[in-house]
Homo-oligomer: A and B are copies of this chain.
Amino acid sequence: MPVAPRISVQTQDFNAQAEADLLTNGRKDVGALVSFTGLCRDEAGTLTALELEHYPGMAEAELTRIAEEAIGRWPLTGLTVIHRFGKIPPGDNIVLVVAASSHRRAAFEAADFLMDYLKTRAPFWKKEHLVSGGASSWVEARAVDDEDAARWT
C-alpha cells in the first residue's frame, strides 16, 4: 500500500526533528531520511519580512498531488511537506520537505523533485517588505525554477 503523505499549510513554525521522528520512530525499514528546509534569506539586510500569500484549499490540494506523484515515482516509507504562510522574517523557516525510504537515492531524489515541483506548481507567492519602508514588491518567478522542474519530465 502506498504511504499517505503528511501535508500541512500553516502560519506557525515547524520542527524538522519532530517531523523526522514521526517518519522513523518505532520502524526498522527506514534506511535514509532526507530533509530540506527552505529559509527566508536576506544577505543584503534590506528585508523586514517576506509575506507569503497562498490559495487556501488549492495549496493543500496541489502539495498533496505533488507528494503523491513522488510516492508513485520512488519507493518511499514516508513523506512530509509543510509550507508556512504569512509574514516570515529573515532567518526563519518557510518550507520543509522530509522524505524517508529504505534507500538513500530514492530519499534524495524524492525530496529534490518535490522542491522543484513545489516551487513551480504550489500556489504560494512571496512579497518583499523592506526595511526602508519603500513600496513592497512581489518576487518574480525565475526561469531556472522551470528548468529545474523540467529535469523530472
Identify A31's interface contact among B27, B34, B41, B112, CB under 8 A.
B41
Task: Pick from A1-9, A12-20, A56-64 the stretch touching chain B.
Answer: A12-20
Identify A35's interface contact among B29, B34, B42, CB under 8 A.
B34
Q: Residue on B with the closest CB to A112?
A: B108
Interface size of A by CB at 8 A reads 35
Which residues in A have some Cβ–Cβ distance to B below 8 Å? 15-17, 20, 24, 26-43, 45, 90-91, 102, 104-105, 107-108, 111-112, 115, 148
7 smallest beta-carbon distances between A and B, as pairs: A17-B17, A31-B41, A28-B90, A35-B35, A33-B37, A28-B42, A29-B43
